[in-house]
Structure 1
Amino acid sequence: MTGSDIPPLTALRAFEATARLRSFKAAAAELFVTPTAISHQIRQLEEYLGLRVLDRTPRSVSLTARGKELYDATTMGFGEIRRSVERLRETENPSTLTLSSTTAFLSHWLVPRLAEIRHVLPDLDLRLHASETIVKLQPGEIDVAIRYGIGPFAGVEATLLKTDAFAPVCSPWLNIVDLQDLRRIELIHVDGRTAPLPLPDWPRWCSEAGVSGIDTAVGLRFTNSMHAMQAAIAGQGVTIVSLVLAADALAAGLLVQPFRHILPGGIYHFVCRPGIGSRTYVKTLREWFQDSLK
């Protein structure tokens, strides 16, 4: 073996997958070959090196000390190749981006502003992904997200956008002018909220606002804030909603905020996969969110 020689790449790839997954069967499934083919590649690698890189038992696979050294090198090498391929693909198609957020944020806030994004980033192919749970950001699936919470968020680059607030809103046709009017108006509840904590509900709002004599257990109940807001727009009562999500309806006069007292909400963050935050279209999109959510 000369100083410039390296083992066959197929053998190195089989070794890296086997060492990472600790299984011939799992490595075979990942590389779309048979476990026998993986075993043959590992044996070929060991013969080439003249040393053993894996310890095998009927139930497990582990690295030898020399194998650990080789594994560190192959992990680094294949990892850099994967990152290079990703960068090359993004160079060929640099303007495709998938953004994930909640259905409420996408429907109430982002979708009405898509024309603004197209104006700022005319070549961006923005794909929206709705999820009520936090999704993992990874290449080929989800690139960026708008997350709601205090943070920090592990494994992503995060930028604070805006702190939310909650307040009662209703149709202007209900003509609510003071707190006493709440006694004649139907309360609209949103059940199943998990954030922010403590929950922005009617018992808490009435307690903090000094309102008494109202049965906060009765009224219309929804499990979706969008439905609650639509009921309020239709004049069916008053509900407590995110002022970020209600911003357009308030600006259009479909809803009014009759009382000053608000409840603190969570914090909106722009998050992206590590390593892509400096890319031009990601930076531009992040800056657009920062300006739009002031």
Structure 2
Amino acid sequence: MAIHSLPPLSSLRAFEAVARRSSFKAAAEELFVTPTAISHQIRQLEAHLGLRMLERSPRAVRLTAEGSVLYEATTSGFAEIAKAVAHLRLRQESAILTLSSTTAFLSHWLVPRLTELSRLLPDVDLRLHASDAIVELRSGGVDAAVRYGKGPFARVATVPLRDDVFGPVCSPMLGLSKLDDLRQATLIHIDGRQVPTPTPDWTRWCAEAGLLNVDTQTGVRFPDSALAVQAAIAGHGIAIVSLVLVSDALVAGLLVAPFAPVLRGETYHFACASDLETRPDIVALRAWLLSVMAKTAATCNGF
């Protein structure tokens, strides 16, 4: 049937609402028009088809046999249209994906992998939001986050990605190989760490390693891990950092992790707003993070 031979869409909408609600008044309220307007639309529909669709009485509105056939078709048709519109809106909303995480995670771990991630989500405008504080996740704002802590996190859907480990790292240029070498090495400190607790610092590490008589307060200090890592790569000393975050530098040989033990940290979690848990780009991002973090875990286990 050609499109132009169909009844007007407005009359079909009015008919479907009256048939579903069994009331002209209720249909009018739903469609934000007057009952008179609804009556006009139904008359227009019946005139177009040359058939009576509804039996009217003072107390009820009933479908005729022909009306039942049309009602079944309109119900199915409007449901399919609603599904298509929802899909189109979802695609539009998915065009932008805002991911939040700590400055350290984004700079050390995610940014070096952005090319790989862009190939995975070629039609998504990925926007990174750096914050060491936990931000609210919601559709239309910050959609997802890689969070660090014990978890679980309230009011969001979360999946653990992997546990963190900390250990001493330095440039291979320093040639550190024996624990006693640490007595002459420059210790790099990171001030202001909030997590994990207890803090993975030199005092704690030396106690775990059984290394006594080391002045764990001397050395150079930096306000964040990004600067500390750069100092270590440049050969300015040895720092205790997340082996997860510097895994690429370790594989590339820019850093070495010459000493055991490692100190356990917290856990990296993928989190998203609860109503976005099944959005295709969120599902793809979560699966990618789980896969790549598993490879990072295998890498870290070698140090």
Q: What is the TM-score normalised by the length of structure 2?
A: 0.69
Residue 231 of structure 2 corresponds to residue 245 of structure 1 = no
Distance 1:125 1:100, change over 3 A: same
- Partners of 1:86 and 1:151 lie apart in 2 by 33
- Partners of 1:201 and 1:172 lie apart in 2 by 21
Is the partner of 2:287 in helix, strand or coil? helix
Task: Count matched residues.
Answer: 220
- Partners of 2:93 and 2:210 lie apart in 1 by 57
**2:200 is matched by which residue type in structure 1?**
P
Structure 1 segment 44-59 matched on structure 2, within 5 A: none
Is the partner of 1:275 in helix, strand or coil? helix
TM-superposed deviation, 1:139? 2.1
| Identity across the alignment (%) | 53
Structure 1 segment 208-223 matched on structure 2, within 5 A: 208-223=208-223
- Partners of 2:30 and 2:255 lie apart in 1 by 69
- Partners of 2:153 and 2:251 lie apart in 1 by 32
For structure 1, which segment, 275-284 or 264-273, has the greater mean C-alpha deviation from structure 2 after superposition? 275-284
After superposition, the C-alpha distances for 1:115-160 in whole angstroms (9 at most, x for unaligned) are 1111112112111000110000122210000000110100100001
Contact 2:161/2:270 (CA < 8 Å) preserved in 1?
Answer: yes
Runs of 4+ with deviation above 6 angstroms: none
What is aligned with 2:286? 286
Larger radius of gyration: 2
RMSD, aligned α-carbons: 2.1
Residue 266 of structure 2 corresponds to residue 266 of structure 1 = yes
Of Structure 1 and Structure 2, which has the larger fraction of its residues in helix?
A: 2
What is aligned with 1:118? 118
- Partners of 2:30 and 2:250 lie apart in 1 by 67
Is the partner of 2:204 in helix, strand or coil? helix
Structure 1 segment 87-166 matched on structure 2, within 5 A: 89-166=89-166
- Partners of 1:293 and 1:271 lie apart in 2 by 15
- Partners of 2:138 and 2:233 lie apart in 1 by 39
TM-superposed deviation, 1:6? 4.6
**2:154 is matched by which residue type in structure 1?**
A
Is the partner of 1:100 in helix, strand or coil? strand
- Partners of 2:285 and 2:30 lie apart in 1 by 44
TM-superposed deviation, 1:7? 9.7
After superposition, the C-alpha distances for 1:192-230 in whole angstroms (9 at most, x for unaligned) are 001011110000000010001110011100111010111
Is the partner of 1:251 in helix, strand or coil? helix
After superposition, the C-alpha distances for 1:38-88 in whole angstroms (9 at most, x for unaligned) are xxxxxxxxxxxxxxxxxxxxxxxxxxxxxxxxxxxxxxxxxxxxxxx9976
**2:176 is matched by which residue type in structure 1?**
I
Residue 195 of structure 2 corresponds to residue 167 of structure 1 = no
Is the partner of 1:106 in helix, strand or coil? helix
- Partners of 1:253 and 1:7 lie apart in 2 by 67
Is the partner of 1:266 in helix, strand or coil? strand
Distance 1:86 1:102, change over 3 A: farther
- Partners of 1:149 and 1:201 lie apart in 2 by 18
Is the partner of 1:194 in helix, strand or coil? coil
TM-superposed deviation, 1:93? 4.3
Residue 191 of structure 2 corresponds to residue 194 of structure 1 = no
TM-superposed deviation, 1:90? 3.0
- Partners of 1:132 and 1:189 lie apart in 2 by 19
Residue 277 of structure 2 corresponds to residue 277 of structure 1 = yes
Is the partner of 2:229 in helix, strand or coil? helix
Is the partner of 2:126 in helix, strand or coil? strand
Contact 2:139/2:276 (CA < 8 Å) preserved in 1?
Answer: no
- Partners of 2:288 and 2:187 lie apart in 1 by 36
TM-superposed deviation, 1:279? 1.7
Distance 1:90 1:176, change over 3 A: same
- Partners of 2:154 and 2:270 lie apart in 1 by 13
Is the partner of 1:112 in helix, strand or coil? helix
- Partners of 1:91 and 1:293 lie apart in 2 by 27
What is aligned with 1:228? 228
**2:256 is matched by which residue type in structure 1?**
V
